[in-house]
Copies of this chain bind each other. A is one copy, B any other.
Amino acid sequence: MSAQVIALTGGIGGAKLALGLYRVLPPHTLTLIVNTGDDFEHLGLRICPDLDTTLYTLADLANPELGWGRRGESWGFMQALEQLGGETWFRLGDADLALHVERTRRAARGEPLSAIMADLAGKLGVRAGIVPVSDTPIRTRLDTDAGELDFQDYFVRRRCAPRVRGVRFPGAAQARLAAPARAALASPALQAILICPSNPYLSVDPLLAVPELRAALRTARVPVVAVTPLVGGRALKGPTAKIMAELGVPQHAAAVAAHYGPLIDGFVLDSADAEERERIGCAVHVTATVMRSLADREHLAREVLSFAARLRPRRAP
């Protein structure tokens, strides 16, 4: 069996490295365990933003301008919905809508989300596992100065403006890992577990809040390597740095490494932050982590994989 790699990922930032990994690894050797804390019901449809960003990115359908949804999208649905007085704060493109309608229909028939996503990814020609962390709902809820908010209310409707005081993940403590995630973690061919440069508080923490996954990382026999989502104390996209400030955490890559703590064996730091190396309590690899081009994505993927390979074996089997 070919060497297998698992990567934990959220949305846009994580999907960049996920695409790099997908392109440099042989087909069917990458399993992405994806955050579902941002999922919600909207217009009666089941929307899974991080799964869909990951799927569209690997299927080469993603919209590079918007950072979400599909490329070459049309907006007839939203325009008509507005005319009918429907809710339009969360924008759904016409082609994107097919994914939500089809998923909602199949989920209503009782199919597990992981099985639906595996089938749809196959239909789009993706040769990697795109696995929701769990088939049961996990919801990211933010305690803010505007009250407790659902993730999409905070993130899309209020554009991350409220001050965050804390984050909870209802459903995570009771959630079981989706079967394909469990199988990938148990594979004897597994070589490394990576944590993509997603928002640690909003995208990775809901994954780590699933007890089975946290335990799997803690007891893994392969190295666990996280990639910094911060460069020079700033996130390239999204509210990571803002939330760290609001939570009273120093806005440094080293603070992210400390946040993951004993769960990780290695941390990939950006060249701009090389001086933080000493403040990180695990093995560190310094490289360029900003992914503008496809070549950047592939380069970082290779760097992360070879760093993880140097750390192996983590513990005696």
Q: Which residues of A contact B (CB under 8 A)?
A: 43-45, 70, 73-74, 76-81, 83-86, 93-99, 101-102, 104-105, 108, 119-120, 123-124
When chains A and B are docked, how far (Å) is the Cα of A101 from the Cα of B97?
A: 10
Chain B positions within 8 Å of A83 at CB level: 98, 123-124
When chains A and B are docked, how far (Å) is the Cα of A79 from the Cα of B102?
A: 13
When chains A and B are docked, how far (Å) is the Cα of A101 from the Cα of B108?
A: 15
When chains A and B are docked, how far (Å) is the Cα of A80 from the Cα of B55?
A: 14
Can you list 28 A-B pairs with a CB-CB distance of less than 8 A? A43-B101, A43-B102, A43-B105, A44-B105, A70-B80, A74-B74, A76-B93, A76-B94, A76-B95, A77-B94, A77-B95, A77-B97, A77-B98, A79-B98, A80-B99, A81-B98, A81-B101, A81-B102, A83-B98, A83-B123, A84-B99, A84-B120, A84-B124, A85-B119, A86-B101, A94-B94, A94-B97, A97-B97
| Closest Cβ–Cβ distance, residue A90 to chain B (whole Å) | 12
Write the chain B residue with the least CB distance to A120.
B84
Name A's interface SS. Answer: helix
Q: Which of B70, B86, B123 contacts A98 (CB 8 A)?
A: B86
**How many copies make up the complex?**
2
Chain B positions within 8 Å of A101 at CB level: 43-45, 77, 81, 86, 101
B94 and A80: CB pair below 8 A?
A: yes
Given contacts A80-B96, A97-B97, 5 further A-B contacts (CB under 8 A): A74-B94, A77-B94, A77-B97, A81-B98, A84-B124
A86 and B74: CB pair below 8 A?
A: no
Write the chain B residue with the least CB distance to A105.
B44
Chain B positions within 8 Å of A78 at CB level: 98
